[in-house]
Amino acid sequence: MHGPNTENVIIRALRPTLAQFGVPNALADPVVDLRDGNGNLLMTNDNWQDSQESEIQASGRAPPDDSESAIARTLAAGKYTAILRTKNNATGNGLLEAYELN
């Protein structure tokens, strides 16, 4: 994000999609957490269609697989951290993406 204004963003965590492209050891079930500059949890998502489905679809950035994660959020200017993890703390490869929609 940049500037003093709020920004609409989509943050998504991909895994099954990566396996289709031959990425080895892809994470089993990605979860994405969004934290503010102080480390406070703002939002978490496991399967993107569980919440915000229509908003994420309308952005044109819906994850290709139902088990992937995404968060739609309006953020004020500041520092944020997005964390890609699994529910069972497994290790592996994943892809975390952030899109500015404004």
pLDDT tens per residue, range 67-101: 999 999 999 999 999 999 988 888 889 999 999 99
Q: Is 49 exposed, middle or buried (0-12, 13-18, 19+ CB in 10 A)?
A: middle
For residue 83, what are its two tokens? 């964390």
Q: What is the pLDDT of residue 90?
A: 86
By the 8 A CB rule, do 28 and 15 touch? yes
One-letter amino acid for residue 48 of the chain: W
Q: Domain residues of the chain, as ranges?
A: 7-100
Q: What is the pTM of this model?
A: 0.88
Question: What dihedral angle (degrees, nearest 10) is formed by the CA atoms of 63, 64, 67, 72?
Answer: 10
pLDDT in tens, 8-56: 999 999 988 898 889 999 888 899 999 999 999 999 999 999 999 999 9
